[in-house]
Amino acid sequence: MKIVYHRNSPPPNRIEYTLNSDEPDQSMCKSGSKVVMIYGYPYNKRQSKWLDSEQILSMLEKNGESFVHEIDGVYTIIYISNDIVNIYTDRYGLYNAFYYEDGNSVIISDSISEITNSGVPVEYDKLGVYEYLSYGYKIGLRTTLKNINQFDSGSIYTLDQKIKNRKYWSFNSTATLRSISKEKIRQLFNQHILQVYDFKGRISLPLSGGLDSRMILSSLMLDNRYKNIHAYTYGIKKTNDINIARIFAQKYKIDHTIHELNESYIQDIPIMTDKEILSFNGLVPVPLFLHMKYSLNHEEKVADTIMWGLNGDEIWRCPLGSLAERVNDIDELTGQIFNYMKTSKNYLETYTPFKDTKVVEQLKSSIKAELNDLVVNSNYIDAANEFGFRTFAGNWSSSFFKMSGKIMKVFPAYFNSEIIPMLRHINSDERSKGTWQKYIISKNTPYLASKLLSTYMPIISSVPLFIKSKMNRLYLKVINNANKLFPKLNLGNPPRHNYTDWLPEYHYEYLKKVLEYDNMVTKDLFDREELEIMFEKYCNGDRELVQFFGSLISLELFLKQIAPKIL
């Protein structure tokens, strides 16, 4: 999908547009001078059915811009009429398009590479790169390239001589309730999940041993149509995720497939990385998430719709809100969030890879700038929760939703415009512990609540829960200390799929070639000697560097593919 708006050209040459008709997540219709283009999967909230471009055009003609309140889902909708372009984005930033703007034109596309192929100047954005390498994603609406941004969530844009933007929804808006019961939330969540059966077609459900996929399954089990589910679990043999998912599938006689990440998968990581690098737009560490594309390539043969349970943490448990409970000002909140976001990625405390000595200050400033737009009446808890939601949904999960939508229809299980604002009234302590999620599971399907989560040690089910919890804390402490002392043992938590551990172990020469300093696009950012020390530490098992190098590898490959001329 590509739209070019030439500001200085007269009609009818002002607007050019093309559609990738072979892409399942794109559609277009024309009626006279009016054009509607859909990128993504909007659905009708009342009738529980997918909407195509003709139906959206009919809604626009009948109700005008208020049609956005009748739909939900993941999408960017483009409406062209009278030489004006209107862009409607989904509430969550999950299917946001990108745009480039200069004095003469605006270029809109679902793909950054399609924008750069239009001949626009290509230069990496230093702050975007610093954020991406520090967190594994960037902050706000910028990308890792200068002058290429993404559209904001829950917004209506009007493109004329200027780009105008107004919000129609936000994470903390619309709900005026002061309290909400667990039972009411359970009923609303169940209604939201069960409507997927009305969309027709088979449902693919990623099923692990954790809380989020279990909560979705507990709702799906309330309808006899649960036989229409095809569940799958990915990973290496004998992980708790696979073992627990298999137990659930056998208990309820649900079709279940295990997509094993075996030796063949590991050997193909460089090939898959090179092939998929552009589809993630340089915004996530690709080698860490190839398993998602790998699984979906199998799932599209047996299902029509993927039901993602991403962002349960940011929507239901909101850890950032807990951090904000005792802060007194925005600077203190900024520091708390920065420390949280770099947890398990503390390389900046150990290494100094960047030539710029003020990277940490810049990272904190970008967080503070986002918070400044979100804090209302010194309500730091709501601001922190919305920051987490916008950051992780719009800058992390969106890459996976958009990748999935190229293969199957996408239904966002944890994104509902009625439920999300209500959750702000849940006590932060209860919320962070997943208390409400556990309530929903136990009321829906008690058997699912009776099994330990996958992060717990495997112990016999007859042990009382409070004893299990104490034993589990001890178990995790032993495992974590052992991993620090003997990183090559790779004990896991318990054994899990450590994708970036596989890269140096199986593909050292590939990494060395991608990150050869003299050929790096971003080499001017780095101190060569320090970067080479970090690389060897990473290859020798330093887990603090896993996220950093997963991101750096992806960024270098992305930049080299979209614009080899900037070398």
Is a pLDDT exceeding 70 seen at residue 482?
A: no
3-state DSSP of 517-532: HHHCCCHHHECHHHHH
CATH entry, 2-167, from 3.60.20.10, 3.90.79.10, 3.40.50.300, 3.30.1600.10: 3.60.20.10
| Beta bridge partners of residue 28, listed in sequence order | 37
Is a pLDDT exceeding 50 seen at residue 405?
A: yes
pLDDT band at residue 326 under the 50/70/90 scheme: confident
Question: What residues does each domain of the chain span?
Answer: 2-167
Phi and psi at 487, nearest 5°, equal -60, -30
- Residues 46-65 as b/e (b if ≥16 CB within 10 A, e otherwise) read eebebbebebbbebbeeeee
Q: What is the rounded distance in angstroms from the CA atom of residue 385 to the CA atom of residue 108?
A: 30
pLDDT band at residue 457 under the 50/70/90 scheme: very low
How does the average pLDDT of the chain come out, rounded? 87
Query: What are 194-200's contacts with CB under 8 Å, separation 24+?
Result: 194/219, 194/220, 194/222, 194/223, 195/48, 196/220, 196/305, 196/307, 196/411, 197/223, 197/225, 197/228, 198/48, 198/49, 199/43, 199/48, 199/49, 199/50, 199/305, 199/409, 199/411, 200/304
For 19, other C-beta atoms within 10 Å of its C-beta total 18
Stronger pLDDT, 454 or 516, i.e. the higher one: 516
Stronger pLDDT, 393 or 413, i.e. the higher one: 413
Stronger pLDDT, 525 or 393, i.e. the higher one: 525
The pLDDT of residue 469 is: 44
Distances in whole angstroms, Cα of residue 311 to Cα of each of 85, 389, 415, 502: 31, 8, 9, 26
* Closest-CA residue to 404 (of 546, 490, 284, 300): 300
Q: Which of 205-214, 289-298, 494-503 has the lowest mean pLDDT?
A: 494-503
Burial class (CB in 10 A: 0-12, 13-18, 19+), 451: middle
What value does the mean pLDDT take over residues 149-155? 96
Q: Which of 65-74, 484-493, 504-513, 539-548 has the lowest mean pLDDT?
A: 484-493
Q: Looking at residue 30, what DSSP letter applies?
A: E
pLDDT band at residue 184 under the 50/70/90 scheme: very high
Is a pLDDT exceeding 70 seen at residue 484?
A: no
The pLDDT of residue 177 is: 59
270 sits in which H/E element: helix 269-276
- What is the distance of C-alpha 274 from the center of its chain? 21
Of the chain, the percentage scoring pLDDT greater than 70 comes to 89
Query: For 429-450, how does the pLDDT look when each residue is reduced to its tens digit (9 = 90+)?
Result: 788 788 999 999 999 999 999 8
Is a pLDDT exceeding 50 seen at residue 45?
A: yes
* Closest-CA residue to 312 (of 467, 201, 466, 438): 438
Is a pLDDT exceeding 70 seen at residue 471?
A: no
